[in-house]
């Protein structure tokens, strides 16, 4: 099995690469690339994202044909794809970080700044937080409800269809922290920084 981590120069993704390689050992081939052919031929794709919604969507768009290739992979061919952090946020139709920016439009919704209740809560939201699993999601197989995951974000994804939400977390208010729509999975938290439980989520994705 070939799994591609899309490297589109969106910040440091070394911890994502290391975690996937640790879980895969030698059973799964992990490739880190933006080569369109390699992405097309992959069995699964991981879309990481660090930085702002705009910087990540701009970086994706700057590689000729990459957005179209990802669209074909996830929407047309319906192969498993996992978005992490801003990788998940880009599933939305639109994001409002820095400026109004068009997303991939895979899961209808928007990405807006977390309401920090007039400074009562610090942004970005950094650190460990419990997640409440609200849907029987394949990537949460054998994961206990209220497990702690590691977060770093100031913006949240608000999907129009609440049925895609697989987990929520509370910080200032309730946020979506994981989604599942058919073959498309996303986590707002960082599984690669969430210790053994995070590695289990990566393993679940690889085992789909």
Q: What is the largest CA-CA distance in the chain?
A: 49
> Which H or E run includes 17?
helix 14-24
State residue 26's pLDDT score: 86
- Contact (Cβ atoms closer than 8 angstroms) between residue 57 and residue 156: no
**Which of these is catalytic: 125, 153, 175, 190?**
190
**Which of these is catalytic: 56, 85, 125, 175?**
85
How is the chain split into domains, by residue range? Answer: 2-206
Could you tell me what percentage of the chain is helix, strand and coil, using 3-state DSSP and rounding each to the nearest 5? 30, 30, 40
State residue 158's pLDDT score: 98
State residue 10's pLDDT score: 82
**Rounded to whole angstroms, how far apart are CA atoms 189 and 74?**
21
Tell me, yes or no, if 177 is annotated catalytic: no
State residue 12's pLDDT score: 86
- For domain 2-206, is the CATH number 3.40.50.300? no
State residue 128's pLDDT score: 98
Per-run averaged pLDDT (10 residues), the chain, 208 residues: 95 94 94 97 97 96 98 98 98 96 98 92 95 96 97 97 98 95 98 97 97
**Which of these is catalytic: 97, 156, 192, 203?**
192
Tell me, yes or no, if 98 is annotated catalytic: no
- Contact (Cβ atoms closer than 8 angstroms) between residue 169 and residue 183: no
State residue 160's pLDDT score: 98
State residue 72's pLDDT score: 98
């Amino acid at each position: 099995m070939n799994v591609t981590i899309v490297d589109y120069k969106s910040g440091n993704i070394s911890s994502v690469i290391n975690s996937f390689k640790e879980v895969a050992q030698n059973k799964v081939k992990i490739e880190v690339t933006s080569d369109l052919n390699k992405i097309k031929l992959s069995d699964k794709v991981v879309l990481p994202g660090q930085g702002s919604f705009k910087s990540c969507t701009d970086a994706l768009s700057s590689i000729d044909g990459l957005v179209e290739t990802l669209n074909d992979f996830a929407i047309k061919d319906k192969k498993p794809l996992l978005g992490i952090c801003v990788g998940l946020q880009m599933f939305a139709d639109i994001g409002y970080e820095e400026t109004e920016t068009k997303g991939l439009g895979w899961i209808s919704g928007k990405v807006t700044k977390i309401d920090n209740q007039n400074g009562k809560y610090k942004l970005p939201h950094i650190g460990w937080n419990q997640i409440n699993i609200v849907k029987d999601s394949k990537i949460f197989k054998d994961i206990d409800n209220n497990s702690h995951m590691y977060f770093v974000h100031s913006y949240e994804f608000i999907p129009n269809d609440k049925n895609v939400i697989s987990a929520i977390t509370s910080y200032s208010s309730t946020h979506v922290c994981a989604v599942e729509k058919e073959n498309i999975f996303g986590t707002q938290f960082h599984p690669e920084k969430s210790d053994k439980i995070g590695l289990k989520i990566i393993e679940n994705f690889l085992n789909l």
